[in-house]
């Protein structure tokens, strides 16, 4: 039943009183109108949804940061202490009184350390633990708190973030998500470092800090990495492949990360780092299997490289027969293979 002509007070009453046959329509219409209502009605709605079931509470949590009022704190505090729901973590850190957050520091830091730091970074006595946050996150906090950032520290943060980006365990078919929004995949240009959203954000912060020389040296570094790739045999071979536009661009992104890794100054690569990969050939054993399969899929390593450190036997790719047996056992695999356009008969085309 359409409720678009009903007064909002009537809809709220139906929702709160669980009027038979009206709750679903009332909920939908309340949520549709919420952003256009005045604050008095919005507060009534938030209290009603916070007092309802989990799905309604989760919807209300999403509205808190933009529609917060101190009168909501007692109810939200009650819900936090009762359920510890993930959806309430961020709005709680952003909106709860600082005194309450400080009393439960460990709990909120463990839930979202970056958000907790952002809330308190304006306090000059608040110390940020670099070990618990990414280089990009640390730089953003320094900017948000208007804290000084030395040239050496800024450079270390930038290249450490590039290092982490390049060494993240690859995720097949999701490389596009690393880029800034609005990148046109029909453009055949190879993605540069500045087109990776985390790197772009950090360089813009450097420019806000007026670190012109550091920014210019980064642009030079990025350009050199770009040129080294488009002049490489790998790029020439890649451009000859007959694959879908999305698959081609995904490969370009992965290889852009590889080229950036090769160009990272040695002083920012640590052998004891948990993400360390020695020139894209070594990786912690916990991540090695997926990484090896990914490199094999994109033909970036020879068969002789598919060895775990200390292993005696080569890791074999699944044969067409084995893949068919997997399909027979789990039909969902057939759907994935069809979706990604993989040729089951071609060993080199299958990533597992």
Instruction: Read off the pLDDT of residues 286-324 as tens digits, 9 standing for 90 and up.
Output: 343 444 444 444 444 333 333 333 334 344 456 667 677
| CA-closest candidate to residue 19, choices 29, 72, 55 | 29
Give residue for tokens 């708190």. 145
Instruction: Answer for the pair 162, 193: CB distance below 8 angstroms, yes or no.
Output: yes
Q: Alpha-carbon distance 339 to 175, whole Å?
A: 17
In sequence order, the β-bridge partners of residue 196 are 179
Cα→Cα distances 32→42, 95, 187, 234, Å: 12, 24, 39, 52
Task: Give the N- to C-terminal CA distance of the chain in Å, as an integer.
Answer: 51
pLDDT digits (tens, 9 = 90+) for 126-148: 999 998 998 999 999 999 999 99
- Assign 272 a pLDDT band (cuts: 50, 70, 90): very low
Q: Alpha-carbon distance 343 to 352, whole Å?
A: 12
Q: Alpha-carbon distance 297 to 291, whole Å?
A: 10
343: pLDDT strictly greater than 90? no
User: How many Cβ atoms sit within 10 Å of the Cβ of residue 229?
Assistant: 22
> 105 or 179: which carries more pLDDT confidence?
105
> 37 or 256: which carries more pLDDT confidence?
37
Q: Alpha-carbon distance 273 to 256, whole Å?
A: 22
* pTM > 0.85: no
| CA-closest candidate to residue 139, choices 127, 260, 130 | 130
Instruction: Answer for the pair 258, 228: CB distance below 8 angstroms, yes or no.
Output: no
pLDDT of residue 109: 96
Give residue for tokens 């995949």. 185
DSSP code, position 205: H
253: pLDDT strictly greater than 90? no
Q: Alpha-carbon distance 101 to 107, whole Å?
A: 9
Q: Report, in angstroms and rounded to the nearest whole number, the Rg of the chain calculated over CA atoms.
A: 26
47: pLDDT strictly greater than 90? yes
pLDDT digits (tens, 9 = 90+) for 84-110: 999 999 999 999 999 999 999 999 999
Q: Alpha-carbon distance 22 to 28, whole Å?
A: 10
Cα→Cα distances 15→21, 22, 45, 53, 98, Å: 10, 7, 9, 12, 33
In sequence order, the β-bridge partners of residue 179 are 196
| CA-closest candidate to residue 251, choices 228, 232, 235, 262 | 235
pLDDT of residue 310: 38
Q: Alpha-carbon distance 221 to 149, whole Å?
A: 21
161: pLDDT strictly greater than 60? yes
pLDDT digits (tens, 9 = 90+) for 185-227: 666 567 788 888 889 999 999 999 999 999 999 999 999 988 8
345: pLDDT strictly greater than 50? yes
Give residue for tokens 């359920």. 83
| CA-closest candidate to residue 166, choices 230, 289, 282, 256 | 256
Instruction: Answer for the pair 72, 64: CB distance below 8 angstroms, yes or no.
Output: yes
């Amino acid at each position: 039943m359409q409720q678009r002509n009903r007064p909002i007070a009537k809809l709220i009453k139906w929702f709160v009183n669980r009027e038979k046959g009206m709750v679903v329509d009332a909920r939908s219409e309340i949520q549709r109108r919420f952003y256009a209502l005045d604050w008095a009605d919005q507060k009534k709605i938030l209290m009603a949804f916070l007092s309802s079931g989990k799905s309604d509470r989760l919807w209300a949590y999403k509205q808190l940061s933009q529609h917060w009022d101190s009168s909501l704190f007692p109810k939200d505090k009650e819900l936090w202490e009762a359920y510890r729901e993930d959806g309430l973590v961020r709005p709680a850190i952003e909106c709860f009184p600082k005194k309450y957050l400080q009393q439960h520091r460990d709990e909120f830091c463990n839930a979202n350390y970056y958000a907790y730091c952002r809330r308190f970074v304006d306090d000059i006595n608040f110390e940020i633990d670099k070990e618990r946050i990414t280089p990009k996150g640390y730089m953003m906090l320094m900017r948000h708190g208007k804290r000084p950032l030395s040239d050496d520290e800024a450079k270390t943060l930038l290249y450490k973030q590039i290092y982490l980006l390049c060494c993240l365990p690859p995720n097949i078919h999701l490389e596009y998500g690393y880029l800034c929004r609005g990148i046109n995949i029909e453009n055949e240009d190879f993605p540069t470092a500045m087109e990776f959203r985390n790197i772009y954000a950090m360089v813009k912060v450097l420019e806000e800090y007026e670190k012109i020389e550091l920014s210019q040296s980064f642009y030079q570094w990025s350009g050199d990495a770009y040129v080294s790739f488009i002049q490489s045999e790998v790029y020439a071979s890649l451009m000859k492949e007959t694959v879908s536009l999305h698959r081609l661009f995904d490969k370009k992104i992965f290889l852009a990360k590889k080229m950036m890794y090769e160009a990272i100054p040695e002083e920012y690569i640590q052998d004891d780092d948990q993400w360390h990969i020695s020139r894209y050939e070594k990786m912690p054993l916990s991540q090695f299997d997926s990484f090896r399969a990914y490199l094999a899929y994109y033909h970036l390593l020879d068969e002789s490289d598919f060895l775990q450190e200390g292993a005696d036997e080569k890791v074999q790719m699944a044969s067409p027969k084995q893949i068919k047996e997997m399909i027979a056992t789990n039909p969902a695999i057939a759907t994935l293979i069809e979706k990604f356009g993989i040729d089951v008969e071609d060993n080199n085309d299958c990533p597992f």
